[in-house]
Structure 1
């Protein structure tokens, strides 16, 4: 089972790589209306020039949950003695994970799987829909004269309508859903659920809500910046929020059972055998009540009642 999970993880990483860095899955090319104001926003530059560049987003997505889970599991391990009872067989009867290491690997492994799964879902949506960004026409640079555009109602479907940089044009066709918004919300929701379900704070009730709301606000801020810089529409950001949040909730509640402590299974109770006579086990036979026993029992109860009446 452990090696099967490694195969699934490797397949997920490989699929995310093919979506992100190769042309294995070509982007669907949608048409556009001439002079469409929804796609005529100025080109904001590459993603690296954003106020929230992808490097910063990915660094926070990797660092914040990892540090939180490591700190939380260390505290839980030293504060709860029942965690010492957990043991998990990995390869043979002699090989066990330490309880602390086991929970860390479990939670971070599921989180890593969720990150790549969110990337696959977001990339698949972008490839299948091919929705344009708000700055698509600025990146496409269509030759309206050659295309014969005379009004805003004319729809252009030609694949070679764009004269801009092909890489920038291809990136401008990947708007729905917003991948940065999906990853940010997935990381925030996963971490918030971990903090809420695992951490036990004494003396104050505002520590966990403050930390949770801070993480959620940072995730929401990523989507707001994407819209403000004309890199995504509001619908793209909301779809990214829903995608990342849904995957996080599913993994926490259905895969790792809301971060609950795993208890060792109870030892099976063996049925007690009847006592043996002279080393030979006795066989339990079914008992059938005889009519004579019923009659004698009735007579005894009747005699007892008669004796009690005489005494009284």
Structure 2
């Protein structure tokens, strides 16, 4: 009979495709950055011109000027720099801690990633996905602004409409005006072009989008990847503080009459949705996948070493305290002798059984086994 052998694909075939994929990802990321730059730092992409109602009070708020409660440099630094700094602290702290104890194991990558430490791969992956998400938030928010053309609350203040250009002009003590309650679609703005262009891009709010994206991303990272052992308040306080900063940054746009409440709400939902999708769906809540069976890398490695942790002092387990009762496996020879009780391997992070609990469980299991042996012999007789 002819024999057939299954030919497995060599690792070199997968390795040869990695550079192509890396260059493709860099090309796509560069295109995303370019589009974000064109949308927010130039006026090349035109914005849709929405009409307005004559003497609309919702669009007649005073213009607060160039000074803002949260300046743009601070917003970009907090949205892009703060999460990267948190990831650096979260990924490098366990490495430095293990190096200080002299217990740093050689954790390298699998096929196609030979010689790359695990923490470095996690660092690059998390940082790269965060920057990608930030650029995606910029692009989606910018596209929403230019496509909707929503008018800011201070639009009429910077527009300075020239009502003499209208076909029907109403007389007023202050000069020519528009007919009240009429909808104006003509471009009659006489103010500075840059201010008018920005006043036509109110929905969604960019401040709210970037603030909530960075806050939710850092909150999910702090909750999933940072394991602060020995404390119960630092992690919740960090998460609540991040969410509070995002809320204050978004609310400042409403208090300064730069955005409507619905603009801030839409930007907050957009930023939070992008952060949740990247953190939960793409990155799996920042957890490293377990090693493939048969892979030499990672065998026997506890889960704590595959997740970034910051270990703080903790009280030891109290002997005889509450905990899961261990199960015992019973083995015996053919003649009923040589009874042996073997406890199972305790997984990492579980509580070891005490000597009293082990002795009691052994006695109960041994008595049940002897009773079963006696019953089986009586049935044979």
Report the CA distance shift for 1:233/1:88 in structure 2 as closer, same or farther (over 3 A). Answer: farther
Indicate if the aligned counterparts of 1:86 and 1:262 stay in contact, CA closer than 8 A.
no
Residue number in structure 2 paired with 1:126:
145
Deviation at 1:67, TM superposition (A): 1.4
Distance 1:125 1:152 in 2: 30
Residue number in structure 2 paired with 1:106:
125
Deviation at 1:18, TM superposition (A): 1.8
Deviation at 1:100, TM superposition (A): 1.7
Residue number in structure 1 paired with 2:319:
none
Deviation at 1:214, TM superposition (A): 0.5
Deviation at 1:201, TM superposition (A): 1.8
Distance 1:144 1:35 in 2: 11
Distance 1:172 1:179 in 2: 13
Alignment of 1:240-255 (within 5 A): 240-255=267-282
Distance 1:88 1:121 in 2: 35
1:152 is aligned to 2:152 = no
Deviation at 1:154, TM superposition (A): 0.5
Residue number in structure 1 paired with 2:107:
85
Report the CA distance shift for 1:162/1:88 in structure 2 as closer, same or farther (over 3 A). Answer: farther
Residue number in structure 2 paired with 1:207:
234
Distance 1:117 1:88 in 2: 30
Which of the numbers 89, 92, 97 marks the counterpart of 1:71? 89
Bigger relative contact order (CA 8 A; separation at least 6): 1
Alignment of 1:25-104 (within 5 A): 25-46=45-66, 49-77=67-95, 84-88=106-110, 96-104=115-123
Distance 2:255 2:147 in 1: 25
Scaled by the length of structure 1, what TM-score is found?
A: 0.79
Residue number in structure 2 paired with 1:280:
none
**Larger helix percent:** 1
Deviation at 1:200, TM superposition (A): 1.4
Distance 2:45 2:110 in 1: 40
Alignment of 1:163-242 (within 5 A): 163-242=190-269
Deviation at 1:86, TM superposition (A): 4.1
Report the CA distance shift for 1:88/1:130 in structure 2 as closer, same or farther (over 3 A). Answer: farther
Gaps of 5+ in 1: 269-311
Report the CA distance shift for 1:217/1:108 in structure 2 as closer, same or farther (over 3 A). Answer: same
Distance 1:56 1:11 in 2: 25
Deviation at 1:146, TM superposition (A): 4.3
Indicate if the aligned counterparts of 2:108 and 2:115 stay in contact, CA closer than 8 A.
no
Distance 1:7 1:96 in 2: 26
Which of the numbers 36, 47, 52 marks the counterpart of 1:16? 36
Deviation at 1:64, TM superposition (A): 1.6
Q: RMSD over aligned Cα, in angstroms?
A: 2.1
